[in-house]
Structure 1
């Protein structure tokens, strides 16, 4: 169970690292080519980009971002951290099994890690906006 949470958290973090962009800015093909996966260097002493350049991890911890912040607050938070030079935001995907977001949508059905509560529909429609839509918004 914990292993799955760690994997989900790492996937979220990887998605944020590889997909960070200003919400009002679209990327050109040239900009997309500059995004590279982050790897551990051969000597295991630092992170590096796929091209070998070192990657300095300047992270801020927003563990409860998905639980505590609405869309507007998430955007303001990311804008503030970008201005301050942070290049990584560390977020807990599931702080607890009974976690729900600021909108009251629970992440899991009956607090079971293997049953995410996904509501079909348009993520912009508040009636079908679920915990996972909120996480997708934060990543985007």
Structure 2
């Protein structure tokens, strides 16, 4: 598919436009490319996260098996579309691989699992000043 510059600009605008934080339109961009089936309670939870009184996030918590991973994935997808690329997800150690797999396969987002060894390695690679060194 060959996009004209106008179309590329239009799609970029649609992905990054600002919508009211409690608007279902804000969620539409995140849902469009995700490989998930949504339930109404998940949509409500995601809209809550966008409209959180805590400006920097929300805690998604409910019963086991109700789709918190999907809810979080939708929030991550929207933040990614808004070009917010420094996102940290903290999970129990026994769920790290599952989260990695679901975020990459269902939401097509690049991610890394950081454990003590990989974190320390990354710190050494990036350096103390935060600038990346070439390897």
Q: TM-score range by the shorter chain?
A: under 0.3
Q: TM-score, normalised by structure 2?
A: 0.26
Higher helix proportion: 2
